[in-house]
Amino acid sequence: MERKEDRGVAVITDTWLRKHRLIYTGATRHPFILAIRGGSVDISCFKRWLGQDYIFVRAFVPFLASVLLKAWKESDDSSDVDVILGGLAALNDEIAWFKKEASKWGVALDSVVPQKSNLDYCRFLESLMSSDVSYTEAVTAFWVIEAVYQESFAHCLEDGSKTPEELKETCQRWGNDGFGQYCCALKSIANRQLEKASDDVVAKAEAILLSVLEYEVDFWNMSHGGAV
């Protein structure tokens, strides 16, 4: 298929990423990720992130289910449902993986207390589950949420990275090529929806993208401990 870029037509999501490059880089090249990549990460930070992310991922399940429902109702392309269903299936594996990884590091998932940034982010996800939020807005959020992790962890696996051996599996989880292709599929869905959306919906989706990036930065910040 001919790509929009090849015809010199601007793709909305690419325009946004250029426009908001600073905050995007803040989310995908956070000091926590750079510390993993550089091999200097403090394992207690990693464990803190692991416990908090498990809580987030559990809240991500109903969010994804709401996106699936919206795709089924609002999308003209039935393959969207297949892509999102694949994401839900992967989340099922991911939850099992968190339990295994947590036991490996001695993190008791049941007693992890969600920190404020996590609760705020989960509440934001919940607000996006409302039926007042269009499929276009919800799928834009979904794409950005996944893309930040994909870009962050793929960076830890690039040539020249010094990621500790025991953290490579975590980085592979989101940094592998299959996950990269899945993010590309989500991005094209978002673009296709945005192309035909009203200016009002496009503006709301851009605001959602910015909010997601801010929540992601705050989420990585929790790994330092400090602010609760």
Residues making contact with ligand HMH (CB under 6 A): 53, 56-57, 145-146, 148-149, 216, 219
Q: Minimum distance between the CB of residue 126 and ligand HMH, rounded to whole angstroms?
A: 14
Instruction: Find the residue with minimal CB distance to ligand HMH.
Output: 149
Q: Minimum distance between the CB of residue 150 and ligand HMH, rounded to whole angstroms?
A: 8
Residues 172 and 153: their CA atoms lie apart, in Å, by 7
166 is in an annotated binding site: no
The residue count for the chain: 228
Q: Which is nearer to ligand HMH, 36 or 145 (CB)?
A: 145
Q: Which is nearer to ligand HMH, 57 or 119 (CB)?
A: 57
Q: Which is nearer to ligand HMH, 41 or 145 (CB)?
A: 145
Q: Are 149 and 19 in contact (CB under 8 A)?
A: no
Q: Identify the active-site residue in 101, 151, 206, 216.
A: 216
158 is in an annotated binding site: no
195 is in an annotated binding site: no
* Cα angle, residue 227 at apex, residues 225 and 228 outer, rounded to 5°: 90
Q: Minimum distance between the CB of residue 142 and ligand HMH, rounded to whole angstroms?
A: 9
Q: Minimum distance between the CB of residue 38 and ligand HMH, rounded to whole angstroms?
A: 21
216: annotated active-site residue: yes
Q: Which is nearer to ligand HMH, 72 or 97 (CB)?
A: 97
* Cα angle, residue 116 at apex, residues 18 and 53 outer, rounded to 5°: 70
Catalytic residues: 216
Annotated binding site for substrate: 53, 94, 146
